Structures are given as structure tokens and as C-alpha cells.
Amino acid sequence: MSTLLRPWRTLTCAALALTGLALEQAIAAEPVDVELVLAVDVSLSMSPGELEIQREGYAAALTDKHVLDAIRQGMNGRIAVTYFEWAGTTTQRVVVPWTIIETRDDAEAVAAKLSATPPNSARRTSISSALEFGSDLFAESPFQGAKRVIDISGDGPNNQGAPVDLVRDTVVAQGIVINGLPLMTNSGLISAYDVADLDRYYNDCVIGGPGAFMIPVNGWSQFPEAVRRKLVLELAGPAWQRQAGEVAAHPPVILADARSSYDCMVGEKLWRDRSGMWDSR
């Protein structure tokens, strides 16, 4: 064989080997109905008590009968879930690595992990970095989901990192659905870094993908029920016509609608205009 052809043959063999490895990994991946990333805001705008409410709310929702029923009714009867907490661009902490939930015991094991260590808050709010981190978690997943969802909660707009709407579009283009839980829990008191219509911000700048939705939370007493209902809908699929009762419930489920001219850089502008203030959000 000509020595000129040998490098090309080597490269071709290497490419085929990598392709074969990818196929083996895909075949080996355990099928699940949903791969679910729970991304939870722990920025300094929330008190330690509010951080605990979030942990407890997710733990209660994952072990709720309606959520477990929704899991069992799937084609595979199991989901894969991971839970991480986020704040600024460099703050993403995985609390629960990828874990199968198929039975109540599985769900209770996840809930126990959520209760094992206290949450820690951190500075700034980078929804865009949280979405990037969440999308990277799918590449590490040993499971193959019929649907991939990032479920993100937060109490303020993006004020650090890449523009959130651009990252949202990149993540959605990967076939990932982004649902939201905007935490409008300040009882009408707006801080220097807040926006009054955080639900509209989430609609226009954060959520996306087929069947994407959000559930605004207007008070911490609503949080456990909002999380429970959001999980049921995510696991039940996008047949919204069967969910009329859920959509009409309180707090309401809001389906993603047409984008308006909302300024998705509002958080960055608020931060810039108040850069001399205490570095909290």
C-alpha cells in the first residue's frame, strides 16, 4: 500500500472506531421516559428559610402519589432525574446526580439526598450559565430519555453571563424543553435587581421548546403545590387538552405563548446601573 494512503486509512479507522463507540454507548444507555434536570436558584436574594422551603418542596413533590402515578404510567415506567443548585456564572452544585426513579423507594432515596446537607447561597444570578450547565448534564447522563427537560426556578432576571435568550435558543435547538418556575415571592416589594413581571420575563426570555410552560409562584405557601403540579405535567406529556383543570388551577399553569418585545437584557442593565450597590444578586 502506498505510504500516502496510510494516514488516511488510519484516520478512517479511528473515525469508524469512534462511531462504533458512540453506537455502543447509545445502545447501552438505559431507556427512561424523561430525563429531568431540576435547576434551583440559591442566590443571596433568598433567605436560608426560603432555601429550605425549596428543598422540602421538591422532596415532597417527588414522593407525591400523583407524581409517582405519572411516572408509572409512562411507556418505561421510570424517569431519570438530577438536581443542582445555581447562582452566578461559577456556582453550580449537583446535589443529586443522575438517579432513576421507578418506585416510591427510589423517590424517597432522592428526597433523603435533598435533606442530607443544607443548601448554601451564593452571589449573582446567571440563568444562562444554569441552562448551559443543565444541558451539559445530559451529555453525562447514562440514560436515554424520550424527552429531555430542564426545570428551572428563580426569583430574578439574569444579571451575569451570556444573554439568557441566546442560550435558551441554543439549548432548545438541542431538543431540550425548558420549563420555568418564576418565584414572585416578594409580596410586591421590588428590590433594586427585581422585575415586577418576572413571569413575562420567563415567557419571553427563559422557557422554550415543544409544550414549554411555567407556573408563577406568588407566595411561598404556593411553592409545594406548584412543584408537584409542574412535575405531573412534565411527566404526563404535552396533551394540554387533557390538562384543562390543571391549567385553570391556582397558581395557574401558563403555556409558552408568542414572544413580545420584552428586553431580555433587563437584569444586566439593572446590575450595571446599580453597580455601586452591595453585590448580592
Domain count, the chain: 1
CATH at 100: 3.40.50.410
SS3 call for 247:
helix
Residue 22 maps to a domain: no
Q: What is the pTM of this model?
A: 0.84
The answer as to whether 58 is a domain residue is yes
Q: Is 116 within 8 Å of 163 (Cβ atoms)? A: no
Report DSSP letters for 63-102, one per residue.
T-HHHHHHHHTSSSS-EEEEEEEE-STT-EEEEEEEEEE-
Does any domain span residue 10? no
Write out pLDDT tens, residues 177-187: 999 999 998 65
Helices (H) and strands (E) in the chain, counts: 10, 7
Q: What is the mean pLDDT of residues 214-218?
A: 93
- What does the pLDDT read at residue 188? 45
User: 66-90: per-residue pLDDT in tens?
Assistant: 999 999 999 999 999 999 999 999 9
In-domain check, residue 259: yes
In the chain, the percentage of residues whose pLDDT exceeds 70 is 79
Element (H, E) at 144: strand 143-154
Domain ranges, residue 173? 30-273
pLDDT category at 253 given cuts 50, 70, 90 is confident
Higher pLDDT, 252 or 129: 129
pLDDT of residue 270: 87
With a cut of 70, say whether residue 6 has pLDDT above it: no
